[in-house]
Amino acid sequence: MNVDTLIINADLFTMQGEGVGYVDCGAVAIDKGRIIEVGSTEALQKEFNAEETIDATNMMVLPGFVDAHMHTYWAILRGVAQDTHNWMLRGVEPFRPYLTDENMTAGAKMNVLEGLATGTTTFCDYTFPALDSAKFFHEIGVRACVTGFVREVPKVLDKLEVGELYPFDPSFGEYTLNRNLELIEKWHGKDNNRIQALLGPQGPDFMSAEFMKKVKNLATEKDVKIHMHVAQSTRETEQILKRYNKRSIALLDELGFLDESLIAVHLTDATEEEVKLLVDRNVSMVVCSGSIGVIAGRVPPAYSFIKAGGNVGLGSDQASGNNCNQVINEMKLTALFNKVKYTDPEVIPAWKALRMGTIEGARAVGLGDEVGSLERGKKADIIFVDLGTRTMQPVIKKPMRNHVPNLVYSARGDEIRRVMVDGKTLFLNDEYLTVNEAEIMSDAQKFATELTDQVREEDFKNTKSYELMQNGKL
């Protein structure tokens, strides 16, 4: 049988079954962007004739990573808001008035380059401006679930006192909702379903109950998932308790949000009982361990969600908090933080963290039937890890294999040699094949400089970063 591509001689990790699905000297046959067969090199070479044969000797080959929650546009302000309480209000909010579609898009493009080079093939981007981000995902060739912000709270958070109730502006809510609906209309299902669009109510504290009902009804009508921050902080909990005399998850349950269409991000402030309710209702969780660790010093209840039988994906969140957008970083931090939290070295082992970054992340965002594992009929989103790099050496196969622990606990991302989406190579040996890296990086620096040159001292003089700088610590 003739096929487009045959990958041979790989240390293959398919993620099939309940583990990592290892195949020694494995092979993958690809045709028209889909996986035709997976098996041994010997068997597939007998069965298939390929237009292109990729020899993956000394390579770990596995499904591309799924970054299930990110805000790529914040990369334009990487590093400005770490090590501070009230990260949103006193860290990034002073910069918000200076953000434009143009400089946010420049940051987003740079961020996508970072993710792609470190093995991310599916980007679940909760972003401004969503239409421009979708266009770039189309151009670069990655898989994407693009979400627009929907909120009734206008851009006044930096003017509020801590604990003050957020004001709602229904006209602003309609504006943001219409932009999200335009995104869905223009991009959902495009590029042979490589790009999907989701509805993005920012959180239950950012809109009225009536407006949330409207969003939920539209999601049902348009058959799209809801990508939403839920119980993300004590700040959110306090807002909801003051307004409704109940907690966020109880409110969302009352409004009919708790079902398989909801992607619940963070859950940092969720109780054990609330976690169980979410799992019972088939809600998926996305944990952003690096981000929440940096900006809140907390460990979200991912392990509780897993123990309750729920599905958890990994997200890198935003570079102005987490400082990087690499799933490989999230795998290590999620495993490490939960081991420390539960004082148990067997909590979230490396193989589970890898599944969270691949097949379980794909399931969390509704793509589990298409990507996340290497098996017949799925899309050919595949990455190649160089086993000859210092961080992956030595390679041990007997009496146990060390590939997965080394990938999760040692790798830094630059071990990735090739990244494929829909069977097409987008990144090879540190070179992007579909976009101009130098131009994107130059634009990001230019727009970041222009943005920060506009910021006045009084805008950020009360921030922790300013204090640290004044004291010679930044």
pLDDT in tens, 363-374: 999 999 999 999
442 falls within a domain = no
pLDDT in tens, 400-432: 999 999 999 999 999 999 999 999 999 999 999
Q: Does residue 144 register a pLDDT over 70?
A: yes
Residues in CB range of 2: below 8 A, 6 or more apart: 31, 48, 49, 50, 51
Domain shared by 108 and 219, yes or no = yes
* Among 152-161, 223-232, 315-324, the least confident range: 152-161
Q: Does residue 71 register a pLDDT over 70?
A: yes
467 falls within a domain = no
For residues 147 and 126, the answer to whether their CB atoms sit within 8 Å is yes
Of 432, 447, 466, the one marking the end of a domain is 432
Q: How does residue 51 score in pLDDT terms, banded at 50, 70 and 90?
A: very high
Q: Does residue 223 register a pLDDT over 70?
A: yes
Q: Does residue 87 register a pLDDT over 90?
A: no
Q: Report the CATH number at residue 358.
A: 3.20.20.140
Long-range CB contacts (< 8 A, 24+ apart) of 445-451? Answer: 446/106, 447/76, 447/102, 447/103, 447/106, 447/107, 448/76, 448/77, 448/103, 448/106, 448/107, 450/103, 451/76, 451/77, 451/95, 451/98, 451/99, 451/100, 451/103
Per-residue pLDDT at 157: 73
218 falls within a domain = yes
- Angle CA 90–93–96, to nearest 5: 160
Per-residue pLDDT at 149: 93
Q: Does residue 396 register a pLDDT over 90?
A: yes
Domain shared by 145 and 245, yes or no = yes
455 falls within a domain = no
Q: How does residue 322 score in pLDDT terms, banded at 50, 70 and 90?
A: confident
Q: How does residue 397 score in pLDDT terms, banded at 50, 70 and 90?
A: very high
Domain shared by 36 and 72, yes or no = no
Average pLDDT over residues 26-54: 98
Token pair 């069977």: residue: 423
Per-residue pLDDT at 22: 98
Domain shared by 242 and 286, yes or no = yes
Residue 326 structural domain: 65-364
Per-residue pLDDT at 158: 67
Domain shared by 387 and 292, yes or no = no
Q: How does residue 37 score in pLDDT terms, banded at 50, 70 and 90?
A: very high
Per-residue pLDDT at 159: 74
Domain shared by 91 and 198, yes or no = yes
Q: Does residue 1 register a pLDDT over 80?
A: yes
Say what the pTM is: 0.97
Domain shared by 347 and 391, yes or no = no
Percent above pLDDT 90 for the chain: 87
Q: Name the β-bridge partners of 127.
A: 148
Look at 17 and 463; give whichever has higher pLDDT. 17
As for how many domains the chain has, the answer is 2
Domain shared by 49 and 93, yes or no = no
- Whether cis (ω within 30° of 0) applies to the bond prior to 399 is yes
223 falls within a domain = yes
Average pLDDT over residues 295-309: 96
Domain shared by 427 and 283, yes or no = no
Instruction: State the average pLDDT for the chain.
Output: 95
DSSP, collapsed to helix, strand or coil, labels residue 144 as strand
Q: How does residue 230 score in pLDDT terms, banded at 50, 70 and 90?
A: very high
Q: Does residue 472 register a pLDDT over 70?
A: yes
For residues 69 and 126, the answer to whether their CB atoms sit within 8 Å is yes
Per-residue pLDDT at 140: 98
Residues in CB range of 36: below 8 A, 6 or more apart: 1, 3, 29, 30, 48, 376
Q: Does residue 228 register a pLDDT over 80?
A: yes
Q: How does residue 456 score in pLDDT terms, banded at 50, 70 and 90?
A: confident
Q: Does residue 219 register a pLDDT over 80?
A: yes
463 falls within a domain = no
Q: Does residue 108 register a pLDDT over 80?
A: yes
DSSP 244-299: HSS-HHHHHHHTT--STTEEEEE-TT--HHHHHHHHHTT-EEEE-HHHHHHHH---
How far is it, in rounded angstroms, from Cα 124 to Cα 201? Answer: 15
